[in-house]
Amino acid sequence: MRCHEAKRLLNEGDINNRELVKHLNDCSDCAREAKAAGLIHRSLDSLRQQDQPTPTPFADIRARVESHPAANTRKESSRMAELTHKLTARKKLSFGLGLAMAALLFFTLVPFSYDRVVGYDLEISGIEPGNMINIDPVIMGMTGLGYDNISISTNYSSTETSVWITGLPHEKAAQEASAVFATLTGLEGKSEYTPKVEAVSGSLYAQVKENLFSVEITVSGETPEEMKASVEAQLESMGMTGGEAVVTQDGDQMQIEITIPGSDE
Amino acid sequence: MRDLFWKLLEPEHPKAEAFCRKLMRNREEGDDLYQDALLLALRNFGSLKDHESFRPWLYRIIVNGYKSRFRRPWWRRHATLTPKLEETRSTGDPDGQLTARRWLERAFEGLTPEESTLVTLFELEEWNTAELARLYRISEGAVRARLFRSRRKMRQTIDRFISQNETSNRIKEADYALPRGETSSE
Ligand SMILES: [Zn+2]
């Protein structure tokens, strides 16, 4: 038996396979991995047999959640869209030794519809009139770069020729398209790209579902300014334009308040 | 509407709460995660069209909550396991459960939050791959591939730990003190 096969059996938990046992006697590398596998296996078994801690009585959890301020803000919020509401009263993250800082996260959420950038359009204008443009090499060139959903349209007038390239997934694609066009046609023009925005109406659930709502925060070694910039950049990248993060530090407590501007629901 | 939410939650409650505690490896923090998830779920219950999907929907909210808390690798916050280790040795650990927990904590160190949730649900909560596929919105094949990858990562993490520490004699036989026996193949 080869190491490759041995590792596959280990992964499947087939640790008593006779061929495997034989291999383990000869191969210290796999033997160590088998020891690790055994430890994990037995640890999982042991925890499975452990008694489950008593669950919180259902009535208690219901009362606790129902009486939480965050559970009762929905109705007002749709009436007063500009009012901000704290969704989660307090999210406390505790950190282990060596990181004596606790970060409090306040997510201030308002029902809103947010704009999501779904792609970019590129316009190349001001091309010398009189040239018929062969767009096929441009399409081939872009396909070669992995952009296979683009389309190109041309507009000829007596004073200038312009070209639209649509279906570009991101800014970099727009820049590449501009370069590809210039290289393959030898024509020069003024390139301008615009984001194509799609309005998404925002239930919070939709954002959670789409995983839009996780913001990564580095707690150590970042100044409040850096943290603010990083959070805002992330919001922006999630299509939440105008999101604002306010970071305040008070002793060893850091508070981050994130506000996303509301529009009507 | 709210009554319906609570009615659907009731049968899920004990397991969902236990899942949060296991994920956070700490009862208080687990309860905190659970409460936040319930608040979010309750507020957005209106958007859940298909009540048959209540369970995966709820767990998705929990998993998302967990991920957003722990975008940073959680082991950095659990950086020190040594004090616990000493404590265990002095108080004794007849069932090996503390030892088991410690090994698992180490094994989970190599996993992303996503993988931690997957392994916890599969190994400790007995979800099958079909249920997991529905929760993560991926194919069953992809679930199996992720489990495969996660197991390998866990083994490698433990393997590295053992080889580093055995050479420096930092772990003793007692650290492996886990109940042996009925651990045949799966
Ligand atoms: Zn081998």
Please give the pLDDT value at position A205: 35
B21 Cβ under 8 Å from any chain A Cβ: yes
Does B155 map to a domain?
Answer: yes
Percent of chain A with pLDDT over 70: 61
C-alpha triplet B55, A48, B152: angle, nearest 5°: 85
What is the rounded distance in angstroms from the CA atom of residue A178 to the CA atom of residue A134?
Answer: 15
Using the predicted structure, report yes or no on whether residue A34 has a pLDDT greater than 50.
yes
A105-129: pLDDT as tens digits: 333 333 344 456 678 889 998 888 8
The verdict on B128 and B170 lying in the same domain is yes
Show which of residues 7-66 on chain A sit within 8 Å of chain B, judged by CB atoms: 7, 10-17, 32-33, 35-48, 50, 52-53, 55-56, 58, 61-62, 64-66
- In angstroms, the separation between the Cα of residue A150 and the nearest Cα of chain B is 28
- State the CATH number of the domain containing residue B106: 1.10.10.10
B147 Cβ under 8 Å from any chain A Cβ: no
The verdict on B98 and B173 lying in the same domain is yes
| A186 closest CA partner among A136, A129, A127, A126 | A127
Does B63 map to a domain?
Answer: yes
The verdict on B46 and B10 lying in the same domain is yes
A63-110: pLDDT as tens digits: 988 888 767 654 333 322 222 222 222 233 222 222 222 223 333 333
The verdict on B12 and B51 lying in the same domain is yes
What is the rounded distance in angstroms from the CA atom of residue A124 to the CA atom of residue A189?
Answer: 6
The verdict on B112 and B57 lying in the same domain is no
Name, of B21-25, B58-62, B99-103, the range with top average pLDDT: B58-62
Q: Which of B55, B70, B85 is the last residue of a domain?
A: B70
Segments forming the whole domain that contains residue B47: 1-70
The verdict on B66 and B108 lying in the same domain is no
The verdict on B103 and B169 lying in the same domain is yes
B6 Cβ under 8 Å from any chain A Cβ: yes
Does A61 contact B2 at a Cβ distance shorter than 8 Å?
no
What is the rounded distance in angstroms from the CA atom of residue B143 to the CA atom of residue B56?
Answer: 15
Q: How confident is the model at residue B150 (pLDDT cuts 50, 70, 90)?
A: very high
The verdict on B108 and B145 lying in the same domain is yes
The verdict on B111 and B51 lying in the same domain is no
Please give the pLDDT value at position A263: 34
B89 Cβ under 8 Å from any chain A Cβ: no
Using the predicted structure, report yes or no on whether residue A26 has a pLDDT greater than 60.
yes
Contact A77, A108 (CB under 8 A): no
Using left for φ > 0, alpha for ψ between -120 and 50, and beta otherwise, residue A245 falls in beta
The verdict on B65 and B13 lying in the same domain is yes
Q: Is A63 exposed, middle or buried (0-12, 13-18, 19+ CB in 10 A)?
A: exposed
Among the partner-chain residues A44, A68, A213, the one whose CB lies closest to the CB of B39 is A68
Q: Which of B21, B55, B70 is the last residue of a domain?
A: B70
- State the CATH number of the domain containing residue B40: 1.10.1740
Please give the pLDDT value at position A89: 24
**Range A197-212 average pLDDT:** 46
Using the predicted structure, report yes or no on whether residue B148 has a pLDDT greater than 50.
yes
Task: Identify the residue with better confidence: A90 or B119.
Answer: B119
| B159 closest CA partner among A65, A132, A110, A10 | A10
A176-197: pLDDT as tens digits: 898 889 888 888 888 888 877 6
ipTM above 0.85 for this complex: no
Single-letter amino acid code for the residue at B148: F
Please give the pLDDT value at position A201: 46
A143-186: pLDDT as tens digits: 777 787 788 888 888 888 889 998 898 888 888 898 889 888 88
CB neighbour list of residue A223: distance below 8 Å, 6 or more residues apart: none
Does B78 map to a domain?
Answer: no
CATH for A114-205, options being 1.20.1250.20, 3.55.10.10, 3.30.70.120, 2.30.22.10:
3.30.70.120
Whole-prediction pTM: 0.52
Eight-class DSSP state of B123: I
Looking at the 3D structure of chain B, how many domains does it have? 2
Percent of chain B with pLDDT over 90: 23
Please give the pLDDT value at position B14: 94
- In angstroms, the separation between the Cα of residue A247 and the nearest Cα of chain B is 17
The verdict on B33 and B101 lying in the same domain is no
Bridge partners, A190 (sequence order): A125
B177 Cβ under 8 Å from any chain A Cβ: no
Percent of chain A with pLDDT over 90: 5
